[in-house]
Amino acid sequence: MNSFEQAAPAGRDAVLLIHGFTGSTAAMKPWAEHFEQQGFATATPVLPGHETRWQDMLSVPFGEWIAATEKAFDDLQARHARVFVAGLSMGGALALHLATRRNVAGVSLVNPGLVVDNRVAPYTKWLRLAVRSVKPIANDIARPGADERAYPRTPVAAVAQLYALFAQVRARLPLVDAPVQLFRSSVDHVVSDESVRALTAGLRPGILREQVSLPDSRHVATLDYDASLIFERSAQFFTELVADGEGLVSDQQQD
């Protein structure tokens, strides 16, 4: 796993930022830079199979994505007082899964995926034997010129892993204890409102603390017109949790 971490004094609070399916850390770096300006340390791991070529995703099980986020979180937790998690799309699902297995101080989600909106998705574990890839889901962004540097094709075998990951995360949502913030674009051609409904139905009452509408953005909202709103409100959310004394928990979840 490749990653980068912005250096900061040990003991300071940190944010782990997780990119989306077939995407890249390019969609997260401006967000990370804002957190750094607000005094947080950050880490933005490259998920296994990403930022090389789409064929490299063909043999990656979703468990490797989970393991990569857990390792990145553990590395941050060893050096910082609190670790928050921010995720885009599939990165949102991984952030929620992480919150069921680690002492996550708070979670900020941008258009999180929890449901694959395609009727053939349940059959991709067999379809992958006949079809290697389909058209990309990249750059659903309203702002001209923005580029998330995603793959030009979507591997069908990886879609099968995404489908399995989402099912596991939905089943674990009642285990999330960390406060959650949700950003939702008014137009999203990648993740439908089915994922939002799954999130709100699965979380226990009181866990979803804040919902923020993004009226001028599409799926990759961290690179879109409402990016500054995401950056400011998420940093404020985490800062307020620190002020309230949340996020310092003695026993680490490992189930």
pLDDT tens digit sequence for 144-168: 999 999 999 999 999 999 999 999 9
Q: Pull the structure tokens for residue 78.
A: 């060893």
Q: What distance in Å separates the CA atoms of residue 150 and residue 100, rounded to the nearest whole number?
A: 28
Residue 93: inside a domain: yes
Residue 254: inside a domain: no
Q: What distance in Å separates the CA atoms of residue 177 and residue 185, rounded to the nearest whole number?
A: 25
Residue 192 has pLDDT above 70, yes or no: yes
Residue 64: inside a domain: yes
Contacts of 130-135 with C-beta under 8 Å, sequence gap 24+, read 131/156, 132/58, 132/156, 132/157, 133/54, 134/159
H-type helices in 100-192, by residue range? 124-127, 156-172
Q: What is the pLDDT of residues 18-53, one digit of tens each?
A: 999 999 999 999 999 999 999 999 999 999 999 999
Q: What is the pLDDT of residue 254?
A: 45
Q: What is the pLDDT of residue 251?
A: 42
Residue 124 has pLDDT above 80, yes or no: no
Q: Which of 104-113, 117-126, 217-226 has the lowest mean pLDDT?
A: 117-126
Residue 231: inside a domain: yes
Q: What is the pLDDT of residue 7?
A: 45
Residue 193: inside a domain: yes
Q: What is the pLDDT of residue 130?
A: 66
Residue 6 has pLDDT above 70, yes or no: no
Q: Pull the structure tokens for residue 223.
A: 């690179």
Catalytic site positions? 89, 188, 219
Q: How many domains does the chain have?
A: 1
Residue 251: inside a domain: no
Q: What is the pLDDT of residue 129?
A: 64
Question: Are 5 and 43 within 8 A, CB to CB?
Answer: yes
Who wins on pLDDT, 3 or 66? 66
**The residue type at 196:** V
Helix axes 156-172, 62-77, angle to 10 degrees: 60
Q: Residue 179 belongs to what domain range?
A: 3-243
Whole-model pTM: value is: 0.91
Residue 93 has pLDDT above 80, yes or no: yes
pLDDT band (50, 70, 90) for residue 247: low
Residue 141 has pLDDT above 50, yes or no: yes
Q: What is the pLDDT of residue 250?
A: 43
Q: Which of 1-15, 94-108, 182-196 has the lowest mean pLDDT?
A: 1-15
Residue 250: inside a domain: no
Q: Pull the structure tokens for residue 66.
A: 């989970």
Computed over every residue of the chain, the mean pLDDT equals: 91
| Strand order from edge to edge, sheet including 83-88 | 3-6, 41-45, 14-18, 83-88, 107-110, 180-185, 208-214
Residue 90 has pLDDT above 80, yes or no: yes
Q: Pull the structure tokens for residue 226.
A: 């409402």
The fraction of the chain above a pLDDT of 90, given in percent, is 82
Tell me, what CATH number does 73's domain have?
3.40.50.1820
Residue 86: inside a domain: yes
pLDDT band (50, 70, 90) for residue 102: very high
Question: Are 190 and 116 within 8 A, CB to CB?
Answer: no
